[in-house]
Structure 1
Amino acid sequence: DNENQGLRKEVGELENRRHELLITHEKLEREIGNLDSKRAEADTIERRLLEMKTKIEEAQKAVIGLSEAQAKMQALIAEKVSLEQVIDGHRSIAEGARKAAEQEVEGAEKKRRVAEELKRELESAQKERFELSLALDGLRHKRSEIETEINRLIEESTTLKQEKQNATEDSQREIEEARRARAETVSEKANLASLIREKQNLELAIGELIANKTSLKKEVHLLEEAKAGFDTLKNAVKKSKDELEKAAEAARAFRGEAVQAEKDLYETLKNEKRAREETEELRAKKAYLEQEVERMKGDRGVPPLEDPFSDLLKEPPKCLDRKQLPDKKFPYTDEVEALEEARSSLDNAGYHFHKRVLKAFHTSLKCQDINPLTVLAGVSGTCKTLLPAAYAQLMGMHRLIIAVQPRWDSPQDMFGFYNYLEKRYKATELARALVRMDPFTKLEGLDEKQRCSERMLLVLLDEMNLARTEYYFSEFLSKLELRRLVGSSASAESRQDARIYLDNVPGRNAISFWVDRNILFAGTMNEDESTQTLSDKVIDRANVLRFGRPARLNADDQNHDPLLPPAPGYLTAAIWKRWCREIITGNWTQKALGWINSLNDALVKIGRPFGHRVEKSILAYISNYPGIEDGENLLREAFSDQIEQKILPKLRGLDNLESASKTVFEEIANVIEETEDDALLKAFHSASESSATGMFMWYGVTREE
């Protein structure tokens, strides 16, 4: 609006000056006419001088008057030339304004072409959705056939049950398995119905986009009419400005709806893929059931295994193989010294992590009572998996790296399940390890020599957000959090609520175990279109370290060993527990509490405050930061780590242009300035002022030595 008013004012001034110049030009023409008449009079006088030689004095006076008139005429001519130059200058200014208006019209034409391109892409997406709907109909038909086959198998199993009285229990279990498969198929039908509803919503959204396209065409037509001549420059400029603003707003809305339509299309594709995979699983179950039915026709039943938990208790986990670590204790009892040795070994191997990154990961693991999970997030290829694996090796810990699968949806994917067909418990490597790390539980059939409760184990869930973390890890995370209320030294009855229970096995007592503080949990997550985001529940119970690229990777350095050195010994659980501290108070407490309150007051303004858990998590992190008692500089380091890990993830998705968001950003920036962390402040300003998406997106901070 200010630009329009200034332009209108400038055009008005140009019009006034042109009018004044025209008046001045008319005056000059009249004066020039007068000069011409005077020149004629002078000619007459000259003729009279020739005729009347006797009137020399009068002639001389006339000549003097003529000279004065000529001088005046020359002055007027010079003034006329100056005025013509001024007129030419104003004409060039007006010509520049006309060209600027034409450039704006050309910009509007480009936006119109972009809008038409978006329309074509949406029509292509609509065609793909139609093809997907046909494919989904085919899948529904296949599921119906599978249901029919499963029902037939149930009937055959019922017949076999009557013929084989000795195998009654096995047949009932087969029927239960078939019913479970049928329930899964019914669930898939519900999912397909949900997909159909989503498709209908997409069609409505496409209709709205087409309506927006029609509106854009009208506005582009108005812009084309703005190509008027210079005579209507004032009105053309005003109209073009208003219409360009409307077109830009409509284009932004159109682009946002197109992005949402693309996301919905991606979800539809992903659901269709999942439905295909589950259909294949049902086919596999059907084939297996047919084989079992044929086997049962010729056999009266197979006697149960002697111990259904043999896979859990007899098979030793590879991750706890004592040969992986030297048979001597870790030589460093001071954690600062141990971290320095680990960082030196990483540097010698060519992996250069900033010392604060290593200290942040180490401190986050120490806070497992209140934050049972440490998450390393970032784009692919930033050494997120390397750091935990190398840390475990150099710190003398056993390690277990678990590749999370997209189909994980329950704790059974982590611990295993009881197979009713094979009549045995199918254990995972994690379940085998947790049972042997439990210092309290005595299990019949477990070789006591395999216990490793005096050692440390780091469990890494690699790419943990390929599946919904809440589905497979939420219950386990709640159990880990309960440890803080119970404590390792409590009685067996007190520990009961925090124990992990495995699937029930018919005829056997339930097996459970206690997850002690000798087991640390970390996870990596890539942030791209193939992954899930973490919920607030997981973020509040975790420290999230976001990785940029490593500061440097000297692949051509000839003075380093590309392999990490072996562990100097195994770290005992006793030393680790001695390194871990409860929340302590010191000279830094009041300053830290002041910063915490300032951050929470800011987050309240956007409806995203945090509770007592986050406050205690921050204080626990500061208390466990290596060397925190040595000075205030380490307090600033520790607190800025917690801003990055706990506070900034809560800002994800905020509109950078809203006034409320800008106010919150300013208040958070003030706290970061007090911590004197320039790298974090720079990265925060970059995220809060980004115009690429218009939203706050936190990608971490890359620290350099």
Structure 2
Amino acid sequence: MQNRTIDWLLAGATTFVVGAIIALILGQNAPHSLGVGLATTATSLGSAAILNSRMTARMAVLEQHIADTDRARALKQELPELKSQSASLIARNDELQRRLEQQQQEIAAALEKSGITKGQLAQLQAQANEIKATITALLGQKQDLDRRLAALNRNYPDLSALEGLQQRIHECQLEKTSLEAQITALGNRLGAMEDRRQSLQQLEANLAIRQAELDQLNSRIQFGSGLAGEVMENEAKLQYLKAQCQQLLTERQNLEGLINQLRLEQQQLDRSLEEKTAQYTSLVQKQPEVEAIERQIFHLRLEKKELELEKERLEHSVSTQAPYYKDPLQTLKMPLWSESEISHDFSTTNTDEEEFLKGFSAYVQKSGFYFPSRTIAAFHTSLKVQGISALVILSGISGTGKSELPQLYAKYMGAQFLMLAVQPRWDSPQDLLGFYNYMENQFKATSLTRSIYQYNHSPKWQDKIALILLDEMNLARVEYYFSEFLSKLESRRHHDAYLDIDLGNLTLPEGERHLKIPPQFFFVGTMNEDETTQTLSDKVLDRANVITMSRPLKLYLGNHGHPPELGSGCLSYHQFKSWCKLPNPSQPVVREVERLLTQTNQIMEDMGHPFAHRVYQSVVHYTVNYPGVGDNLTAAALAALSDSFAQKILPKLRGIIIEDERTMDNLDRLGSIVSGLADAALTAAFAKARQGYQFQWRGISYDV
């Protein structure tokens, strides 16, 4: 117990000195530094006093508790050791006293160096005396404790063991306190390091900003260096320009004289220009009259041609004494085309299909039009497969050349061309094919039936191709006026198709009543996409190839000159048929098409829109007849398959709701097949069609 008290005294004195010195080093004034040291010492001594009082109370309890035990003898045996410990404590007390005096001297020296006043020193000396008195009192208590300890040692031999245990407990508590303090210090250090890390990150960000500013300044410096060179170069140019300016001033004086002369001439030209302007204005005002006269001339020429045909008919009627007005087929037998238009000079220069398409593309451009090469290939291929897809439909917005493409194609190949302008009032096949008027006892033929009759009764037309154009065919419901005739056209792939002429109860020869629809007739329709038109049913879509002529990506002005002149020759139907191919089931390309369409049809069936043999056969025929397609699945074959998906399959999905999960999953599967065709236009059109809550298919853009 005495050892622990002395340790506290020694620690308090040392703390006093160290605290005072550290305060002086940190820049505190001397009184404040001594106050810090004394406060620290007082704290240590107070702790020692408290510990001494606690130990005194515990010793009294122990004296009472073990007064009559049998351990007295053991304590007598340990008395010499306790005496030696007491002597050691006395020596340590003397050492502490000596060290205290030495520290007081050091403090006095420090005070002299720091310039402390005598009053302050006296006050500090008084405080030191109080500390000495406290130490003396503690020493007295120590002696008393020594005596009592000697008595305890005599009576209780195991007191030292108990005290050792108590000391061990205290040391553990101190160690615990120390560890807690270390944990707290480490936490504070960790927080400080985190603050430093954030500070370093901020410094790195600032460094990057400064580096960017530095790079910018370097660029400006380099730019400034270039400007300096330019300034020197510009100065040289300035000197040169000054010399040129002087020369120009001289020339100016010469030109001023010429300007005066030219002004007189300009006045004369202005008067002449006013006269010409007045004449031009007069001509512009008369332009509508000129155009009206040109239209009248055009109509008069048409009327002249019709009158000439009527004249020939009347002359023939008079010569045979069988006037047409008594024949119920009078209008049907009137020739639509003059036989003088038949050319037997079938061209042999473009018998190769590839050369034919190249020549036609060049002819289109020279005529002032532009069609993508893929559109031309799709149109040409669709005409080749009319045996199975009986109609080619050109669909798109107005002004994309839907009507011009068939006309240019027919003109280039030397085919007969017939345009039928569909009217909104058409609601039956009679509007397309004609009807029998019972009141007049006459069959009211149309241009289409007249052309069919003419081909049936003149062998000269048998190798001549005719292209029939139904212009704006969806102004009326296509199913109302064309469905029956379309079915007859489709049957041409199996056998000859015939058109029946209805004359009521009149009897006619078989050759007059049943007219064979010529296989040389190619049927094309155009469709506008606006609010005035009708949509096509699946029946028509299955039997037709729909080619979309979408908004052009680039607008072309074209030329306004006359189209190039063509020779008198034409492409024969026999030659055209030689370009048509029949699919071979063993061809790799046919097997691949079958595989893809089988996968596609499974998905279409899940969505409630499957297709059957007709669509499959149409796709296969279209693919093998596409320009450049051979036995294998090449890029040309993939382009043909993409066309078929756009023309035959995807239009079936128009209007389906795609919000439910199953439909979206099926569309994803179908999209994978579409992507596998590697056609950017088809992939983009498919993605666009499924953007809303309904599938809105509008075809693909060939202008890619």
Give the TM-score normalised by the residue count of structure 2. 0.52
Which secondary structure does the structure 1 equivalent of 2:420 belong to? strand
Contact 1:653 1:696 in 2 (8 A): yes
2:329 maps to 1:329: no
Output the amino acid matched with 1:412.
Q
Q: Given the superposition, is the C-alpha separation of residues 594 and 562 from structure 1 closer, same or farther in structure 2, using an over 3 Å criterion? A: farther
1:520 to 2:516 alignment: no
- What secondary structure does 1:384 align onto? coil
Q: Give the Cα–Cα distance (whole angstroms) in 1 for the partners of residues 372 and 366 of structure 2.
A: 14
- Give 1:570's aligned amino acid: C
Which residue identity lines up with residue 696 of structure 2 in the other structure? M
What residue identity is the alignment partner of 1:591? E
Work out which of the residue numbers 543, 546, 560 in structure 2 matches 1:544: 546
CA gap of 1:604–1:437, structure 2 versus 1, over 3 A, is same
Q: Which residue of 2 aligns with 1:409?
A: 427
Which residue of structure 1 lines up, in the alignment, with residue 532 of structure 2?
A: 530
How far apart are the structure 1 equivalents of 2:369 and 2:552? 8
Residues 1:562 and 1:654: Cα distance change in structure 2 (over 3 Å): farther
Q: Deviations over 1:554-573 (max 9, x none)?
A: 3266xx85525436522222
Conservation of the 8 A alpha-carbon contact between 1:622 and 1:628: yes
Per the TM alignment, residue 460 of structure 1 is displaced from its structure 2 partner at its CA by 0.9
Tell me which amino acid in the other structure corresponds to 1:334: D
CA 1:506–1:650 in structure 2 vs 1: closer, same or farther (change >3 Å)?
same
CA displacement at 1:401 relative to structure 2: 1.0
Alpha-carbon shift at residue 324 of structure 1 (Å): 5.4
How far did 1:409 drift?
1.0
The alpha-carbon deviation at position 52 of structure 1 amounts to 10
The one-letter amino acid of 1:542's match is A
Which one of 463, 467, 490 corresponds to residue 472 of structure 2? 463
Q: Counterpart of 1:593?
A: 594
Q: Is the 8 A contact 2:642 2:679 kept in 1?
A: yes
SS at structure 2 position matched to 1:422: coil
Partner amino acid for 1:348?
Answer: K
Corresponding residue to 2:377 among 344, 353, 359 = 359
Tell me how far 1:461 sits from its aligned partner: 0.7
Could you give the per-residue CA deviations for residues 559-592 of structure 1, whole angstroms, max 9, x where no partner exists? x855254365222222222222333342212211
Say what the alpha-carbon RMSD is for the aligned residues: 3.5
Matched residue, 1:37: none
Report the CA distance shift for 1:568/1:579 in structure 2 as closer, same or farther (over 3 A).
farther
Q: 1:613 to 1:434 in 2, by over 3 A?
A: same
Q: Say if 2:369 and 2:558, in contact at 8 Å, map to a contact too.
A: no
The answer to whether 1:679 aligns with 2:681 is: yes
Instruction: Summarize the alignment of residues 663-674 of structure 1 with structure 2, pairs less than 5 Å apart.
Output: 663-674=665-676
Secondary structure, in 3 states, of the residue corresponding to 2:556? coil
State the distance in 2 between where 1:304 and 1:436 align.
16
Q: In the alignment, is residue 427 of structure 1 matched against residue 445 of structure 2?
A: yes
Contact between 1:364 and 1:371, CA under 8 Å: does it hold in 2? yes
1:626 partner amino acid: P
2:351 corresponds to 1:350: no
Cα distance in 2 for partners of 1:587, 1:577 equals 24
Counterpart of 2:646 in structure 1 is 644
Aligned pairs (5 A) from 1:194-205:
none
Residue 611 in 1 paired to residue 612 in 2?
yes
The equivalent residue for 1:654 is 656
1:311 alignment partner, SS class: helix
AA of the residue aligned to 2:440: E
Partners of 2:533 and 2:432 in 1: CA distance: 19
SS of the equivalent of 1:588 reads helix
Equivalent in the alignment of 1:129: none
CA distance 1:355–1:639, shift in 2 (3 Å) = same
Write the distance in 2 (CA, Å) between the matches of 1:411 and 1:370. Answer: 22
Q: Contact conserved, 1:330 with 1:396, CA < 8 A, in 2?
A: no
CA distance in structure 2 between the partners assigned to 1:654 and 1:370 by the alignment: 28
* Structure 1 position 606, deviation (Å): 0.7
Per the TM alignment, residue 419 of structure 1 is displaced from its structure 2 partner at its CA by 1.7
Is 1:316 aligned to 2:335, yes or no? Answer: yes
Check 1:561–1:552 CA distance in 2 against 1; reply closer, same or farther (3 A cut). farther
Q: Does the 8 A contact of 1:655 with 1:694 survive in 2? A: yes
Q: Who is 1:400 aligned against?
A: 418
SS at match of 1:698: coil
Larger Rg: 2
**Equivalent residues of 1:352, 1:551 under 8 A apart:** no
What is the rounded CA distance, in whole Å, between the counterparts of 1:321 and 1:674 in structure 2? 52
Question: Counterpart of 1:699 in structure 2: which amino acid?
Answer: R
Note if contact 2:647-2:699 (Cα within 8 Å) is conserved in structure 1.
no
Contact 2:385/2:580, CA 8 A, preserved across alignment: yes
Q: Give the 3 Å change call, closer, same or farther, for CA 56–358 of structure 1 in structure 2.
A: same
Report Cα offsets for 1:240-283 as digits up to 9, x if no partner: xxxxxxxxxxxxxxxxxxxxxxxxxxxxxxxxxxxxxxxxxxxx
Q: Is the 8 A contact 1:460 1:521 kept in 2?
A: yes
In structure 2, the residue matched to 1:87 is none
Q: Does 1:307 align with 2:327?
A: yes
**In the alignment, residue 549 of structure 1 is paired with which amino acid?**
R
> Matched residues in 1 for 2:367 and 2:464: separation?
26
Letter of the structure 2 residue corresponding to residue 399 of structure 1: F
| Amino-acid identity (%) | 38
Distance in 2 between residues matched to 1:640 and 1:55, nearest whole Å: 109
Give the C-alpha shift of residue 664 in structure 1: 2.7
Q: How far 1:327 sits from its partner (Å)?
A: 5.2
Q: What is the SS of the residue equivalent to 2:610?
A: coil
Amino acid at match of 1:418: Y
Per the alignment, residue 250 of structure 2 pairs with: none
Residue aligned with 1:308, SS: coil
Per-residue deviation, 1:54: 6.4
Q: Give the equivalent residue in structure 1 for 2:402.
A: 384
2:571 aligns with: 571
Going from structure 1 to structure 2, the CA distance change for 1:350 and 1:667 (only over 3 Å counts) comes to farther
- Residue 365 of structure 1 aligns to a residue whose secondary structure is helix
Aligned to 1:584: 584
Report the residue type matching 2:377 in the other structure.
Answer: K
The answer as to whether partners of 1:419 and 1:425 remain within 8 angstroms in 2 is yes
- The CA distance in 1 between the partners of 2:450 and 2:339, in whole Å, is 15
The aligned residue for residue 276 of structure 1 is: none
Paired amino acid for 2:699? G
Q: Is the 8 A contact 2:654 2:694 kept in 1?
A: yes
Are the equivalent residues in 2 in contact too, given 1:325–1:396 (CA < 8 A)?
no
Pair 1:432–1:53, CA change in 2 (3 A): same
SS of 1:402's equivalent in the other structure is: strand
- Structure 1 stretches of 5 or more lacking a match? 1-41, 61-74, 83-302, 443-447, 489-497
Structure 2: how far apart are the matches of 1:403 and 1:677? Answer: 35
- The letter of the residue matching 1:500 is L
Structure 1 equivalent of residue 624 of structure 2: 623
Give the corresponding residue for 1:266: none
Amino acid at match of 1:658: D
> Quick one: distance in 2 between partners of 1:59 and 1:568?
138
2:492 counterpart of 1:479: no
Q: CA deviation at 1:551?
A: 5.2
Shift of 1:403: 0.9
Alpha-carbon distance in 2 for matches of 1:321, 1:59 = 145
**Does the 8 Å CA contact 2:583/2:624 hold for their aligned counterparts?**
yes
- Contact 2:324–2:330 (8 Å) recurs in 1: no
Q: 1:53 to 1:328 in 2, by over 3 A?
A: same
Instruction: Report the secondary structure of 2:695's partner residue.
Output: coil
Letter in 2 for 1:431: T
Q: Counterpart of 1:613 in structure 2: which amino acid?
A: R
Q: Are the counterparts in 1 of residues 465 and 572 from structure 2 also a CA contact under 8 Å?
A: yes
Q: Which has the higher contact order (CA 8 A, sep 6+)?
A: 1
1:701 maps to a residue whose letter is I
Q: Deviations over 1:659-688 (max 9, x none)?
A: 233223322222233222122212222222
Separation in 1, partners of 2:441, 2:377: 47
Aligned length: 399
Partner of 1:500, secondary structure, is strand
Q: Is the 8 A contact 2:583 2:590 kept in 1?
A: no
Q: 1:421 to 1:639 in 2, by over 3 A?
A: same
Match of 1:501 in 2: 500
Q: Secondary structure at the match of 1:360?
A: helix
8 Å CA contact 1:394, 1:568 repeated in 2: no
Candidates 634, 637, 640, aligned match of 1:635: 637
Separation in 2, partners of 1:59, 1:583: 123
